Amino acid sequence: MILGAIGIGVGFWQAPKTIEDVEKILADSHHGHEAAHVEKVAHDTEAHTVAEPAHSEVAVVDSTKAIVTDSVHATHEAVDSTAVVVAPVADNHDAHKKETVAHEADHDKEHAEHVFHQLQNKPWAALYVACIFFMLISVGVLAFYAIQYAAQAGWSPILFRVMEGITAYLLPGSIIFFILLVAAGMHWGHNHLFVWMDADIINPESVKFDKLIFLKKGWLSVGRFLATAAIILVVWNWVRFKFRQNSIAQDTATDNAPYKKNFKLAAFF
């Protein structure tokens, strides 16, 4: 756990803070690829170079066998230079060059911004996956625990305390998970884990507009998403708390009342 926390901390620390940092990373990467390409080309050229012997022999041609160009054909092809008129052409090379440079600059800026969001999301994604992974282990054990009560299994009571211990992580795991969801909804630390949380996605005037997400905006909204997550997490933790409470009460009970409560709770869950 300590090593994992250190790794996630290093990930957040190494993530670029500005687009200028991303442009520097891209420039360094581009130059590195160029150097590798030049080295490879030089190596291939050296490997495939073949020394060719100099041709010093001079072909001797009999002057009597020289090919004489047909004078009639040459006459027909002759062109009077005074008859050639060069039409003035408007040179728009500079304008085209400026337009190309501007387009490339816009493309580079968009690419840098895209990479910036990706690199900013990497540590958030790592933290989110680790958080939900361990939390869902607790949820899975809680579901298995409930199945044992609902099925009235006779072999599993000896494992109830073990399963209750594993599900104890559900409360802290739920708190961490919900904080991460709020961070994604509020875009803390350039957190853009969920694409549909971007306001431009449902803006018809934006280039990021997505029609499918727009049609689901009533459901795919930050408020509804957080409210749904909060309700589910509260129910899970309440069920776990009641299971544990009734299980402890069963140790000192003189009847099966706590067991029956857990049976009904398991059926509900």
pLDDT at 64: 42
Task: Tell whether 25 is covered by a domain.
Answer: no
Task: Tell whether 138 is covered by a domain.
Answer: yes
Task: Tell whether 164 is covered by a domain.
Answer: yes
Task: Tell whether 51 is covered by a domain.
Answer: no
Q: Give the model confidence (pLDDT) of 161-172 as tens digits.
A: 999 999 999 999
More confident residue, 121 or 40: 121
* CA 25 from centre of chain: 17
Task: Tell whether 67 is covered by a domain.
Answer: no
pLDDT band at 185 (very low <50, low <70, confident <90, very high): confident
pLDDT band at 29 (very low <50, low <70, confident <90, very high): confident
Separation of alpha carbons 81 and 95, rounded Å: 33
Task: Tell whether 227 is covered by a domain.
Answer: yes
Separation of alpha carbons 265 and 242, rounded Å: 8
Q: What is the DSSP letter of 152?
A: T
> In total, how many domains does the chain have?
1
Domain that holds residue 263: 125-269
| pTM of this structure | 0.63
String of DSSP letters for 7-58: HHHHHHHHS-SSHHHHHHHHHHHHHHHHHHHHHHHHHHHHHH----------
Which residues lie closer than 8 Å to 267 by C-beta, 6 or more apart? 150
Task: Tell whether 268 is covered by a domain.
Answer: yes
Q: Give the model confidence (pLDDT) of 118-147 as tens digits.
A: 777 888 888 999 999 999 999 999 999 999
